């Protein structure tokens, strides 16, 4: 896992060091994901954490609670109104510098939601959020969408850090024209022998950027506290 430690000078100038930007871009191209450390004010995340914890009770009480694959993972939006909107979450300069470098000018965010791993839940099936745009490709297309995850708490395998399969954004065996995004078990077992999945440990205040085609799965939360995480999607201008 590549984790880029962002300095206070980079945050103050809203400009990454060239070597840090290139490190992040290389990780996205090869692994399909990168962690940018210490780019969000943890006080802002504490404010979001308190409100989202209260909101979770109401979400789970709904008869149509928005579970994702199983009852262990629930889609939860952050509150989209003041005083819960923070620039370093929604318009983080460092994150945008990376996503713009990958996706080109005109990059835009069209999604502001999240995923909360509940205590005692089950794992999700392995899947990409979106597969290749075209079927039967010999080579994967350049990136067109990047998911930006902001953990609201420290995230590890203990509380359900997302399982990530490095490099699978380049797999061309499935496309959006298929009936399902679930990755067949035989394909997973074959890949596991070559490059095993990981559950990264990510500190609160960091951001995870991953190619939207990367295979991943929500994992069980072995603690007694819910693990909230914000999700955004940055797209090419087209």
Q: What is the dihedral of CA 220, 39, 232, 117, to 10 degrees?
A: 10
What are 3's strand-pairing partners?
35
Residue 66 has a pLDDT of 95
Residue 217 has a pLDDT of 96
- Tokens 């400009």, residue located: 15
Q: What is the mean pLDDT of each run of 10 residues along the chain (238 residues)?
A: 97 97 98 98 98 96 93 94 97 98 97 95 94 95 97 97 96 91 91 92 98 97 96 97
Indicate the domain borders of the chain.
3-235
Report how far Cα 86 is from the mean position of its chain's Cα atoms.
Answer: 18
**Coil, strand or helix: which one is 93?**
helix
> Residue 108: is it exposed, middle or buried by C-beta count within 10 angstroms (0-12/13-18/19+)?
exposed
| Residue burial 19-54, b: 16+ Cβ < 10 Å; e: rest | ebbebbeebbeebbbbbbebbbeeebbebbbeebee
Residue pair 53/226 in contact by the 8 Å Cβ criterion:
yes
Fold for 3-235, please state it: Jelly Rolls (2.60.120)
Residue pair 45/204 in contact by the 8 Å Cβ criterion:
yes
Closest CA to 153 of 201, 100, 104, 217: 201
Closest CA to 197 of 7, 31, 19, 11: 31
| Residue burial 184-193, b: 16+ Cβ < 10 Å; e: rest | eeeebeebee
φ, ψ of residue 36 in degrees (nearest 5):
-105, 115
Please give the model's pTM, rounded to 2 decimal places: 0.95
Residue 147 has a pLDDT of 98
φ, ψ of residue 39 in degrees (nearest 5):
-110, -5
């Amino acid at each position: 896992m590549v984790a880029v430690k962002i300095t206070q000078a980079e945050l103050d100038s809203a400009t990454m060091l060239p070597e840090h930007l290139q490190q992040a871009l290389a990780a996205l191209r090869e692994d399909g994901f990168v962690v940018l450390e210490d780019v969000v004010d943890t006080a802002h995340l504490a404010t979001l954490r308190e409100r989202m914890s209260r909101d979770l009770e109401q979400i789970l009480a709904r008869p149509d609670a928005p579970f994702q694959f199983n009852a262990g993972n629930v889609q939860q939006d952050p509150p989209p109104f003041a005083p819960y909107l923070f620039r370093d979450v929604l318009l983080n300069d460092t994150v945008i510098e990376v996503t713009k470098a990958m996706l080109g000018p005109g990059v835009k965010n069209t999604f502001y939601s999240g995923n909360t791993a509940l205590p005692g839940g089950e794992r999700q099936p392995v899947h990409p959020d979106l597969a290749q745009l075209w079927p039967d490709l010999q080579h994967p297309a350049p990136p067109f969408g990047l998911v930006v995850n902001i953990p609201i708490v420290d995230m590890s395998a203990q509380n359900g850090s997302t399982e990530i399969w490095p490099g699978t954004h380049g797999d061309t065996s499935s496309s959006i024209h298929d009936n399902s995004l679930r990755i067949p078990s035989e394909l997973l077992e074959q890949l596991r022998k070559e490059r095993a999945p990981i559950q990264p440990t990510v500190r609160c205040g960091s951001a995870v950027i991953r190619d939207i085609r990367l295979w991943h799965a929500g994992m069980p939360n072995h603690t007694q506290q819910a693990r909230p995480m914000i999700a955004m999607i940055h797209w090419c201008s087209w």
